Chain A
C-alpha cells in the first residue's frame, strides 16, 4: 500500500498530471478530443469534490449531526427548532427547485437567500467602499497632507493628487445608470456636448486603468505558463531518473 502510495506520488500522479497538461496545451493547435477529455475530467472531479465538501463540511455538521446528537427527545428544544429544524425545512424546500413541477415550493428559500445576500452587499458597499472611498477622495484635496505610502509632498504630491482626483471624478461621472434625452429630442445622441467631453477625458483614465490591469493579467498568466513548462520538464526528468534508476 505504501509502495502504491509512493508510486502514485512519484510516478503515476506526475505522469497523469503531465499528460493532462499536454492534452490541455494541445488546444493551442485547435479544439480536439484530447482537450475535451481533459476538460470534462476536470469538471467531473471539481464538481464531485465540491458536492462532497458541501455535504461533509456544511450540511452534515449544520443540520444532520445536531439532530442526531439531540435525539428524539431533543427535537422539541426551541434552540434546535430555530437553529436547525427551521433552516433544515427551508433547505429541503430549496431542493424542490430541481423539479419544474414543484419548484415553486422552493421559492421562499430562494427569496430569503437573495434578500439577505442583497442586503449584505448593499451594507458592505455603503460602509466598506462608498463612505471610506469618498472620504479618501475628499482628503486628497488637503494640500498639507502627505502621501501616505510614497511620502511625497509639495508640487509632486499635489500633481499626483490632482491626477487621482480628476481620474476619480471623471471616471465616476462617466457612469450613467439612467440618462434622459433632452426635452423635445426624439432621436440622436442622449448626451450634451459637455457630457461627451467628460466621457472623452474619462476614457483616458479608464484606458490607462484597464491597460495596467491587462498588463498585470498577462504577467500573471506568463508566470503560470512558465511554471507549467517547468513542471513538464521536471516530470520528464523525474521519469527519466526513475527509469534509469
Chain B
C-alpha cells in the first residue's frame, strides 16, 4: 500500500540504527522532507494522491488537455495495474532518466579496483569475479522498482535497464524511445552507493503528498536496499569491494605526492554525516569539522624541504631586495685638489727665470773649470779635413731646440769658422726645419747660405732601417732635400746630391765627421749601432741633452770607443763658446739658467724638512708605543 515502509527498508533500519542524530538546526532536504509530513515516519506519506494528481486525472477524465508526459505516465500506470505491477506515481520531480548511452557509444569499462574494498551488501560494486551485472544476487531482489518506488540499483556504471528485471513502465517507455536498451555490460566497475538503502525515504517535498508508487527513483537506489537486506556482511571483511584501476588511468594519476592510499573502512565503522545536504549518510566526507568549521592549517604542510642551493638563491634574492630598498647615500662632494706645491714651484721658477732676463740680476760667474771632454772635441773638429763635408744630424724635437741649439751652436760655429761644408740630415719630420733654421741663422755670420756652405739633405725616412741603409748607400734612400738651392745656371735642383759640395760623397765614410745632435739616447744609440760599422775612420761626435748624457757615455768612455767626441750641458757649451771667443745663446741663457736651477735645487732640498718632521713623528709614536 502506498505510504507503507517497504520491508527492505524496515529490515535495514532494524539492523543499522542511525548512528548520529541529525542536528537541531539541520537544513538538509531530507530532514525537511521528514518535517514536512510532521512525523518521523519514513516513506512517502500515506493518504490520497495529491490533489493536483487527482485533478490531473479528473481533468483528463473531463477531457481537459493534459501534458503528454502525464498522459504517458497514466497510461503506463494503467498498464501496470493491469499487469499487476505496482503503479507508477506521477513523479513530482522531473527525475532525469538514468544516464543512457547508445549501444554504439557504450564501451565496456575496465573493472575498477579499489584496494581494500570488498563487495558490499548494499553496494553496487561487484568484483569481476562476482556475479555479473544483470544476474541476480543470491538472495537479493532483482533490480527494479520496488514497492516504495525506489529503484534498485543494477550492477555497472552504465545504468541501463535490465531487461530481465522489472522496471517501471515509464522507464521502459523511455528506453523504448531511446531505442533498444543497451545490453548491460559485463564486468563494469561499480561505484559504492552514496545513499544507503535504509536511509532512503524517498524524495519528499514539504507540502506534497506522495505515494511510494508515484516516485520514480533510480534503480541503483533500489538495489541498495535490497542487497543490504539480504546480503550479510562477512565478518572482518570491509564493505566495499576492492576495485582495480586500469593501467591507462593509473598512468594518468598524479605522482606519489598525491597518491594516497585510501582506506575505506567497513560501513558500520564510518561516521554518519551530521550536517549539510548529506546528513545522515555514512561513508561521506564529513562537512564538519573538516570543511565547514575553519581551522588553522596543520604545521605539516608548512614544513618545506629546502636544499642548500635553494637556500642560497633565497638569500641572494633577499639581499637583492634589501639592496633595492636601501637608500644610496649621496656621494660626498668631490674635494677639489689644490696643487699648492705646483703653484709655488711655478711661481718661484718663473720668477727666477724672469729676474735676470728683465732686470739683469743676478749675474752668475762664468764656468771656470773646463770639462774633460771639451778639449778632445775641439781638437776633433779642428782636425776635420776641409775638403770633405761634415754631416750634422739634427735628431731632436722642436721642444728641445732651445737647449740643443744652444749646446750645438759653438761646434757649428767652429765648423763654420774653419770653412767646413755642412750637410744636414734628420730622421725626424721637423729635423730639416730645425736644421734650416739654425744653419741659416748662424751661417749668416760666416757667409754661409743654402747651397753655399751648407746643404739640407732633408728627411731620412725609415728610422733605424733608414739609417742603416743610408749609411751603406746614401743614394739608396730617396731624400728630396729641403729648400734646395738653385743651380748656378738658375735651374732648380731636383736632388741635394746635385749640390757641388757633396760631390765625391758616396757613403757615410766619405764625410769628414759625423755629429749627431740628439735629445734622446735612443736616437744616438741608433746612429752608433747602425752607422758606426760603416763609418770607418770618420769620427763620430754626439751632442746630447744633459739628461741622456749618462746613457750614451759608455760608448765614449771605453778603451776602444765607438764615439769619438761628446758635448752636453749648457756649462760645457758656454765654455766652448768662451774658447771660440763668440758668446752665443748659451751666454744669454746663463744667468736665467743659473738662478732657475738654484731655485729648483733649493726647493727639492726643502723637501727634507717635512720628511724630517714625519720621521720625528714616527719616532715619537714608536717611543710612545714602547712605553
Contact = CB atoms under 8 A, between A and B. Distances in A.
Contacts of A142: 559
Interface string A117-128: 100110011011
Interface stretch (B35-43, B65-73, B435-443, B592-600): B592-600
A226 B357 contact: yes
Interface stretch (A174-182, A183-191, A208-216): A208-216
A139 interface: yes
14 contacts: A61-B478, A117-B463, A120-B530, A129-B529, A133-B555, A215-B546, A216-B545, A216-B546, A216-B549, A218-B600, A220-B400, A222-B596, A227-B402, A230-B357
B135 interface: no
Nearest to B346: A28
A227 to B, nearest CB: 4
Task: Identify the 8 closest CB pairs spanning chains A and B, nearest first.
Answer: A128-B529, A217-B547, A124-B529, A226-B592, A216-B546, A227-B402, A136-B558, A216-B547
A56 B559 contact: no
A220 B478 contact: no
A139 B402 contact: no
B465 A120 contact: yes
Interface in B496-552: 525-526, 528-530, 532-533, 545-551
B593 A124 contact: no
Interface stretch (B174-182, B264-272, B347-355): B347-355
Contact of B464 (A46, A56, A120, A227): A120
Interface size class of chain A, counting residues whose CB lies under 8 Å from the partner chain = 35 or more
Given A57-B459, A127-B533, A229-B592, A223 B403 contact: yes
B523 to A, nearest CB: 13
B399 interface: yes
A49 to B, nearest CB: 7
Interface stretch (A4-12, A91-99, A143-151, A195-203): A143-151
A226 to B, nearest CB: 4
A116 interface: yes
A229 B459 contact: no
A76 interface: no
A149 B402 contact: no
Interface string B595-621: 011001000000000000000000000
Contacts of B530: 120, 124, 128
A29 interface: yes
Contact of A213 (B358, B464, B479, B547): B547
B75 interface: no
Interface of B: 339, 342-343, 346, 349-350, 353-354, 357-358, 372-373, 376, 399-400, 402-403, 406, 429-430, 458-459, 461, 463-465, 468, 478-480, 525-526, 528-530, 532-533, 545-551, 554-562, 568-570, 585, 588-589, 592-593, 596-597, 600
A125 B560 contact: no
A45 to B, nearest CB: 10
A46 B429 CA distance: 9
Given A46-B430, A222-B593, A223-B570, 17 more contacts: A25-B350, A28-B342, A57-B461, A120-B464, A124-B464, A125-B529, A127-B533, A128-B562, A136-B559, A164-B557, A213-B551, A214-B547, A216-B545, A216-B547, A217-B545, A222-B596, A227-B403
Contacts of B559: 135-136, 139-140, 142, 145, 148
Interface in A220-245: 220, 222-230, 233
Interface string A24-37: 01001110000000
A128 B342 CA distance: 42
A221 B485 CA distance: 36
Contacts of B570: 219, 223
A79 interface: no
Contact of B528 (A25, A28, A128, A148): A128
Interface string A142-167: 10010011100000000000001000
Contacts of A39: none
Contacts of A25: 350
Contact of A148 (B342, B478, B558): B558
A54 to B, nearest CB: 7
A60 B555 CA distance: 38
Contact of B562 (A60, A132, A139, A220): A132
A29 B344 CA distance: 10
A224 B546 contact: no
Given A57-B480, A135-B560, A220 B547 contact: yes
Contacts of A224: 399-400, 402-403
